[in-house]
């Protein structure tokens, strides 16, 4: 059996370039801390800066703050609309946008924008807003063969309340009229229609002041001295109040025809 001997070098060991093999692992912490051991490939670090076991590195261990060209983050700022509270652990935030301040879009504002009317694709007519005009809502639509109008809850149908001053344009058609009808104004905003006469030669006149016009046989005065009248009265007639009437006879009153002579007036058949 070989005998193991301990060798002690007083002034260091000169191994003349030869390797030392079969060296045991160090047993003292001081050995690891002060000796420059070279670990074999694939080996691990057993201690850092005199600390062994589970080691938590600090800035001093890795040189942060003490090694040149290496610096720690000391403050974080933000560029509007981003806001930073500053420092090494800042709170980063952004305010909601307003009419004058940039910021993030809130859900309320998003819904407002999202619910906007889509592009019309045509240029609409301005409704109201002009001089002397109200803000009423107008409804104009084509119904079969008539253009109808409604203002707010008031439906004018085809009887539009039109008032024209100055030089008026000529109307080519009157709503609700039929062939032969004659329009007349019953009030400032209402137009009525008088049906065409069924008797030839009649004229549209009023029996009383302000009354509705009706078809009447004309009252004729002749500058040449001749007054002509038909021998048959074809339709009912009322002699105007405070007037007398005369007819050259003989006269036949048509079937169903009534001639009315007011009190104090006379109808003379010559």
pLDDT tens digit sequence for 113-170? 899 988 888 888 888 888 888 888 889 999 888 899 999 999 988 888 877 666 655 5
pTM above 0.85, yes or no: no
pLDDT at 16 over 70: yes
Q: Where are the domains positioned within the chain? A: 198-270
Please state, in angstroms and as integers, the Cα–Cα distance from residue 138 to each residue in 141, 143, 195, 238, following that order: 10, 15, 32, 47
Distance CA 206, CA 212 (A): 6
pLDDT at 89: 85
Please state, in angstroms and as integers, the Cα–Cα distance from residue 82 to each residue in 74, 99, 154, 244, following that order: 19, 17, 55, 101
Beta bridge partners of 82: 94
pLDDT at 32: 58
User: Residues 6 or more apart from 44 whose CB is under 8 A from it?
Assistant: none
User: Residues 6 or more apart from 222 whose CB is under 8 A from it?
Assistant: 228
Token pair listed for 197: 């006469």
């Amino acid at each position: 059996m070989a005998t193991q001997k301990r060798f002690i070098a007083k002034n260091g060991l000169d191994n003349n370039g030869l390797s030392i093999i079969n060296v045991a692992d160090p047993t003292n912490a001081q050995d690891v801390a002060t000796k420059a051991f070279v670990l074999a490939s694939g080996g691990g670090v057993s201690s850092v800066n005199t600390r062994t076991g589970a080691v938590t590195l600090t800035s001093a261990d890795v040189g942060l703050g003490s090694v040149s060209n290496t610096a720690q983050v000391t403050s974080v700022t933000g560029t509007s609309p981003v806001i930073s509270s500053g420092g090494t652990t800042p709170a980063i935030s952004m305010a909601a946008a307003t009419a004058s301040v940039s910021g993030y879009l809130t859900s309320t504002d998003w819904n407002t924008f999202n619910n906007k009317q889509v592009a019309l694709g045509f240029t609409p007519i301005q409704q109201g807003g002009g001089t002397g005009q109200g803000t009423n809502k107008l409804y104009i639509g084509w119904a079969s063969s008539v253009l109808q109008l409604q203002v707010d809850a008031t439906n004018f149908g085809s009887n539009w309340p039109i008032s024209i001053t100055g030089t008026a344009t000529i109307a080519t058609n009157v709503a609700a009229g039929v062939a032969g009808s004659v329009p007349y104004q019953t009030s400032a905003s209402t137009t009525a229609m008088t049906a065409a006469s069924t008797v030839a030669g009649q004229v549209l006149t009023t029996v009383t002041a302000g009354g509705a016009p009706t078809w009447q046989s004309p009252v004729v005065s002749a500058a040449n001295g001749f007054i002509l009248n038909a021998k048959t009265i074809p339709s009912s007639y009322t002699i105007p109040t405070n007037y007398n009437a005369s007819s050259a006879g003989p006269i036949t009153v048509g079937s169903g025809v009534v001639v009315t002579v007011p009190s104090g007036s006379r109808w003379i058949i010559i």
